């Protein structure tokens, strides 16, 4: 049985769900307090901690934490199944993926789990400073795997995430504080349909970034964009291609990536033409194409030259994927002459 409680936290609605039978089977002994806490949240979850900033998803931390990269991880396979099998049941990719895991994965027992604690108890400085009394967030999924508590987060473009480690580590800190489970007994990971990254959370490995805090659910620092006209907004909105009988080449493509794919593959439009049609930057088009290359629905040879690819991969080998900001490092190493979008395309072709 799945128990669901809808929570209006801030301006967003969250659907906190737990699997009763799996909680009873998995949350015993040292995890019994977690089971009690999760049951209590269905009837007694306060609203105040979620009313204002700061949120865990807004924080920017450089870190020295070692990431383990996994291809074809069970979470990746579950993501594909969720996106495909729940395509008509839920609107958002997060709901499609997380609900499938709660219903079908034997280790996942709770999703959209609210966590919070007082800022002064966190142990690291947060941004913006002095913004509020509470730090808060919502964990995508909790699981017990081989006797270890896991915090999992679905990131549609996991390979692009610069700040997910900080976000999940703060989730671990808050959950540990609320349940008494030591952080040493918690593992964290984030994933999409292709790749999964796991790590041991540790606040001692953090240094605060001087970048501005992110808006909620924003994954990368971006330059503020000017306001768009109504015509530009309509141009950017992808049409419903399914009504034209056009099927996605891969379930992991977002709707906006699907539209770019259609223009690039079916309509034979160039990157600059797509940029004009969609009223988005060429770099954004290249970023869409990098997802298609990674998913093998577009060949890299049709997007970038072999020379650029070789230069990017050489720079990546020198800098390493565990660098704080590998994309920025490659961009600087190549004299800022290769765009971030092209860099992503080259890295996606590995």
What DSSP string describes 118-140?
A: EHHHHSS--SSTTS-SEEEEEEE
If asked whether residues 247 and 189 sit together in one domain, one would say no
The pLDDT value recorded for residue 237 is 76
Classified as helix, coil or strand, 112 is strand
Q: Which residues are paired to 206 by β-bridges?
A: 63
Q: Give residue 212's pLDDT.
A: 52
CB 207 within 8 A of CB 61: yes
User: Are residues 60 and 127 located together in one domain of the fold?
Assistant: yes
* pTM for the structure as a whole: 0.72
- Based on the fold, state whether residues 140 and 63 are members of the same structural domain: yes
What is the secondary structure of 268-323 as a DSSP string?
Answer: ---HHHHHHHHT--HHHHHHHHHHHHHTTSS-GGGTS-HHHHHHHHHHHHHH-TTS
Assigned domain for 305 exists: yes
In a domain, 313, yes or no: yes
Same domain flag for 73 and 150 = yes
180 and 252 together in one domain: no
- Residue 198 contacts residue 179 (beta carbons within 8 Å): no
Interaxial angle between packed helices 32-41 and 164-179, expressed in degrees from 0 to 180 and rounded to the nearest 10: 100
Number of domains in the chain: 2
Are residues 142 and 291 located together in one domain of the fold? no
Q: Domain check: are 119 and 252 in the same one?
A: no
**Going residue by residue through the chain (350 aa), what tens digit of pLDDT does each one get?**
999 999 999 888 999 999 999 999 999 998 999 999 999 999 999 999 998 889 999 998 888 888 999 988 999 999 999 999 998 899 899 999 999 999 999 999 999 999 999 999 998 888 777 678 899 999 999 999 999 999 999 999 898 888 999 999 999 999 999 999 999 899 999 999 989 999 999 988 776 554 555 554 444 433 444 555 656 666 667 888 888 899 989 888 888 889 999 999 999 999 999 999 988 888 889 989 988 998 889 999 999 999 999 999 999 988 876 555 678 889 999 999 999 889 989 998 98
Q: Assess whether 191 and 258 both reside in one domain.
A: no
Same domain as 84, residue 154: yes
Strand stretches in the chain, DSSP E: 2-9, 12-19, 61-63, 68-71, 108-118, 134-145, 148-154, 186-191, 195-199, 206-208
Q: Phi and psi for 293 in degrees, rounded to 5?
A: -65, -45
Structure tokens at 189: 């990971």
- Asked if residue 150 is part of any domain, the answer here is yes
At 74, list the tokens.
């069970």
CA dihedral 45, 122, 217, 6 (to 10 degrees): -10
Q: Judge whether 72 lies within some domain.
A: yes
Q: Would residue 229 count as lying in a domain?
A: no
Domain that holds residue 25: 2-208
Could you tell me if 288 and 195 lie in one domain?
A: no
Sequence length of the chain is 350
């Amino acid at each position: 049985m799945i128990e669901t409680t809808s929570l209006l936290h801030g301006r967003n609605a969250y659907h906190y769900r737990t699997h009763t039978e799996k909680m009873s089977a998995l949350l015993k002994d040292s995890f019994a307090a977690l089971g009690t806490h999760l049951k209590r949240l269905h009837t007694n979850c306060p609203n105040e901690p979620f009313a204002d900033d700061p949120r865990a998803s807004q924080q920017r931390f450089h870190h020295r934490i070692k990431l383990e990269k996994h291809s074809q991880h069970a979470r990746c396979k579950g993501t594909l199944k969720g996106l495909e099998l729940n395509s008509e049941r839920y609107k958002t990719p997060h709901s499609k993926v997380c609900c499938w895991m709660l219903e079908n994965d034997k280790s996942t027992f709770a999703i959209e789990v609210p966590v919070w604690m007082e800022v002064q108890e966190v142990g690291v400085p947060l941004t913006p400073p002095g913004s509020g009394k509470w730090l808060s967030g919502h964990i995508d999924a909790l699981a017990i795997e081989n006797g270890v508590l896991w915090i999992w987060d679905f990131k549609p473009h996991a390979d692009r995430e610069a700040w997910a480690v900080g976000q999940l580590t703060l989730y671990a800190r808050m959950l540990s504080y609320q349940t008494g489970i030591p952080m040493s007994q918690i593992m964290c990971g984030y994933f999409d349909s292709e790749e999964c990254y796991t790590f041991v959370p540790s606040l001692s490995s953090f240094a605060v970034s001087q970048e501005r805090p992110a808006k909620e659910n924003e994954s990368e620092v971006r330059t503020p964009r000017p306001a768009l006209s109504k015509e530009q907004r309509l141009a950017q909105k992808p049409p419903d291609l399914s009504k034209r009988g056009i099927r996605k080449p891969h379930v992991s493509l977002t709707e906006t990536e699907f539209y770019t794919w259609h223009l690039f593959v079916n309509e034979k439009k160039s990157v600059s033409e797509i940029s004009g049609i969609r009223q988005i930057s060429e770099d954004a088009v290249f970023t869409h194409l990098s997802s298609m290359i990674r998913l093998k629905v577009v060949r890299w040879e049709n997007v970038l030259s072999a020379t650029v690819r070789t230069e990017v991969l050489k720079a990546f080998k020198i800098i390493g994927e565990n660098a704080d900001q590998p994309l920025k490092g490659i961009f600087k190493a190549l004299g800022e002459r290769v765009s971030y979008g092209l860099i992503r395309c080259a890295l996606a072709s590995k």
